[in-house]
Structure 1
Amino acid sequence: MSKILAFDRNRRQTANRGGGHDSGGTLRSRTAPLVLIRGGERTEPEQAIAISVVVPTKGRPQLLNRCLASLVLQNLDPQRFEIIVVDDGPDDGTREVATDWAAHTEEKGPQVVYIPSMGPYGPAAARNHGWRAARGAVIAFTDDDTIARTDWLRNGLRAIEDGADAVCGRIVMPLNGTPTDYELDAKRLETAEFVTANCFCRRRVLEDIGGFDERFKAAWREDSDLYFRLMEYHASIVREPRAVMMHPVRPAGWGVSLKQVRKVQFDALLYKKHPLLYRRRIRASPRWDFYLTVSSLLLGLGALAAGKPLLAGAAGAVWLGMTTRFCAQRLRNTSHAPSHVAEMVVTSALIPPLAVFWRAVGAWKFRVGFL
């Protein structure tokens, strides 16, 4: 039967061996404990851990299972690395996947570590829980929906050993047929400068810069913030195209872009922290097209309410022209299936006002003049 050791973020033991739970089955500690799911006592490997892989996850046990399968098959000596799963919304399914892999790798594979996060939550906080509990001098980050090529760790570690402070590997997002707007947008991850789905960093550098900013509550811009702070730290950052991570595009429901647009509020935080780098590397100017679209819509509605049909018609024409332009841009090089075209028409009308709203929310929340 598996024994559980719980540790705080500084790796000090904080709970009783065998669970650390009260009578109601909840963890006593409000910190993020490190739970090692192993048969019997934890044994230190003869060879020191060189690299720790941190995998944040939340409610996706099937994807996590696929990811862990690729990680345990790495052609690096299994005694030289460990896999740390940080459960950002602890549930039995995720815990069971981690338990099964820990049992499977107990004799010959890498050690699997499971951390049920007690908060704070979000991908940035989850990654902090992971690397702070790690034993390796090098930390590798990925997501639970990725598939690592067998030489991923070896190539990433080699780049660090050659003198780099941080390494960004290569993302591959395969698509079949003509993509949807959602799929084409997701595929842009392949050309991103620095993504936490495939990166490596020296632990001492993470300690120096304070890790991830936990104010980034969604999976958006937290990797750009880390990248910008590494640049400001004057870290040696290199690209290693041989460290390959497959990142299949997850299926998404109709109108998924409407749910994603709320993430734009975190652009305001990134802009507040790194205004020059944001303009140079993220967006050179504000979304004037969205502001013009929303302004013409409001003007048209106001003019209509005030009984000024000519002004309302002119403003409406501007709104219709800008919305049509936006829709056409999204349909360029994407699927023209009727359902997708209908989705683009509806969401292209709704995204500009939603984007302006969430930009305003971000500007207010983070107290920054952000457009």
Structure 2
Amino acid sequence: MPDSTDEDNIAVSVIVPACGRLDLLDRCLDALVRQALDPRHYEIVVVDDEPNHNTLHLVSGWRSRSVERGPHLSYVANPGPAGPASARNRGWRTARASILAFTTDDAVPGPRWLAAGLAAFGDGADVVCGRIQASAPARAAERQLRAPGPEEAGFTSASCFFRKHVLEGLDGFDERFSLPRAGDADMYFRLLEQGVRIVRAPDALVDYPLPPPPWGASLLQIRHVVFDALLYKKHPALYRQMVEPRPCWNHYAITGLLLLALAGLLAGLPVLAGLGWAAWLALTARLCAQRLRGLAHTPLQLAEIVLTSALLPPLTVFWRLAGALRYRVRFA
């Protein structure tokens, strides 16, 4: 148990959710202990979202190496419910400082990340948004799946700072959002709706190395749209303003034409089936051309985009309707 003097010296607590990616967590902790800030003035709280001895051992190793000069490291197990929002909540509620910094285990905070974030509170801010810098660009075709969201506007849980009383007043992050992107958007919208003073700290930089996306990554990502229904239910105006100005009617049209063609085929109506297939092919080709625009691509990437362009509309419609039913909201 830390004495009161030690607690008074801690200016900021860094919360790092972890989920078994030991190599990434080790890289993140290495960056955090090298901050251009007196190591006695901050602590690092690692919240293990998949509690295991390997993560505990890694954190214990870093704690033993920094026990003399700081910073203080602590390990917190999060047995459930799992998810980054739950891990962040468990972390900030055990933190000792009045200012909380959040990053992720796959991020690499720059050496002045903490110092720059703390300095921004001098302007009377309640929340400070740092900056992330991707080491490699995401595949453009994947980014076209969604309109720009809060992270493009400058808010991400990989680099943000809160006064603790702000999170206490909001009762933390909404743990129903089990994905960081949707949870970040929800928190950002809640801050805007509450009129919380937010400032930007571009020098609070976090490097975000992006691994090459797996083949067909867009098909795996599209299931996350289910949480957009909850986001829309909670913040309909801000959702339409900042995430998606209007429903993706083109996906509904493509899916409807596909169903029409299949119905015509099953009903033995070749003319109806032919018209449906022709219209479906035309709209799908247009979607494929939009995703290919401005891209240099290999034959394998071309094949991926062609295939996923055919599958994305029905999958998108399915997950959007699943979200609408799950959260009981009229969301198209």
Match of 2:279 in 1: 318
Per mean C-alpha deviation after superposition, the further-off stretch among 45-54 and 108-117 is 45-54
Q: Residue 152 in 1 paired to residue 110 in 2?
A: no
Q: CA deviation at 1:183?
A: 7.4
**In structure 1, distance between residues paired with 2:280 and 2:145:** 24
Which amino acid letter does the alignment assign opposite residue 166 of structure 1?
V
* Aligned equivalent of 2:91, options 130, 151, 156: 130
Asked if the contact 1:86/1:117 (under 8 Å) is kept, the reply is: yes
> Which of 154, 161, 179 is residue 193 of structure 1 equivalent to?
154
Cα contact 1:151–1:243 (8 A) shared by 2: yes
Q: 2:311, 2:65 → 1: CA distance?
A: 49
- Map 1:78-117 to 2 at 5 A: 78-117=39-78
SS across alignment from 1:195 = coil
Contact 1:220/1:266 (CA < 8 Å) preserved in 2? no
2:246 maps to 1:285:
yes
Structure 2 counterpart of 1:298 = 259
Structure 1 position 333 matched with structure 2 position 299:
no
2:166 is matched with which residue?
Answer: 205
Corresponding residue number in structure 1 for 2:228:
267
Helix, strand or coil for the counterpart of 1:82? strand
Q: Does 1:227 align with 2:188?
A: yes
CA distance in 2, matches of 1:148, 1:352: 37
Q: Distance in 2 between matches of 1:289 and 1:63?
A: 39
The answer to whether the 8 A contact 1:87-1:117 is kept is: yes
SS of the residue aligned with 1:221? helix
| One-letter identity of the residue aligned with 1:127 | R
Structure 1 residue 318 displacement after superposition: 1.8
Q: How many residues align?
A: 329
Q: Which runs of 4+ in 1 moved over 6 A?
A: 183-186
Per-residue deviation, 1:80: 1.1
Q: Which runs of 5+ in 1 are unaligned?
A: 1-40
TM-superposed CA distance for 1:184, in Å, is: 8.1
Contact 2:12 2:43 in 1 (8 A): yes
Higher mean alpha-carbon deviation, 213-222 vs 61-70, is at 213-222
Is the contact made by 1:51 and 1:136 (CA closer than 8 Å) also made in structure 2?
Answer: yes
Q: TM-score, normalised by structure 2?
A: 0.94
- Displacement of 1:288: 0.4
Q: CA deviation at 1:174?
A: 2.3
Specify whether residues 98 and 334 from structure 1 end up closer, same or farther in structure 2 by C-alpha distance, changes over 3 A only: farther
Structure 1 residue 109: Cα displacement:
2.3
Which residue in 2 is equivalent to 1:276?
A: 237
Equivalent residue runs for 1:19-98 within 5 Å = 42=2, 45=6, 47-98=8-59
3-state secondary structure, aligned to 1:369: coil
**1: distance between equivalents of 2:111 and 2:81?**
33
User: Which moved further from structure 2: 222-231 or 343-352?
Assistant: 343-352
Question: Are positions 1:163 and 2:163 aligned together?
Answer: no
Cα distance in 2, alignment partners of residues 309 and 349 from structure 1 = 22
> Are the structure 2 counterparts of residues 97 and 332 from structure 1 closer, same or farther at C-alpha, using a change threshold of 3 Å?
farther
Deviates more, 1:253-262 or 1:325-334: 325-334
Query: Residue 133 of structure 2 corresponds to which residue in structure 1?
Result: 172
Hey, what does 1:357 align to over in structure 2?
318
Q: Secondary structure at the match of 2:67?
A: coil
**Conserved in 1, the CA contact under 8 Å of 2:131 and 2:154?**
no
Structure 1 length-normalised TM? 0.84
Distance 1:311 1:183, change over 3 A: closer
Match among 169, 175, 181 for residue 141 of structure 2 = 181
Is the CA contact (8 Å cut-off) linking 1:48 and 1:80 kept in structure 2? yes
- The CA RMSD over aligned residues, in Å, is 2.0
Q: CA deviation at 1:181?
A: 3.2
Note if contact 1:88-1:126 (Cα within 8 Å) is conserved in structure 2.
yes
Q: Report the equivalent of 1:7.
A: none
* CA–CA separation in structure 1 for the residues paired with 2:41 and 2:56: 24
Corresponding position of 1:251: 212
Partner of 1:241 in structure 2? 202
Gap change, CA 1:138 and 1:185, over 3 Å in 2:
farther
SS in 1 for 2:124: coil
Contact kept, 8 Å, 2:144 with 2:291, in 1: the verdict is no
Deviation for aligned residue 1:175: 2.1
How many Å separate the matches in 2 of 1:334 and 1:196?
A: 29
* Greater per-residue helix proportion: 2
SS in 2 for 1:260: helix
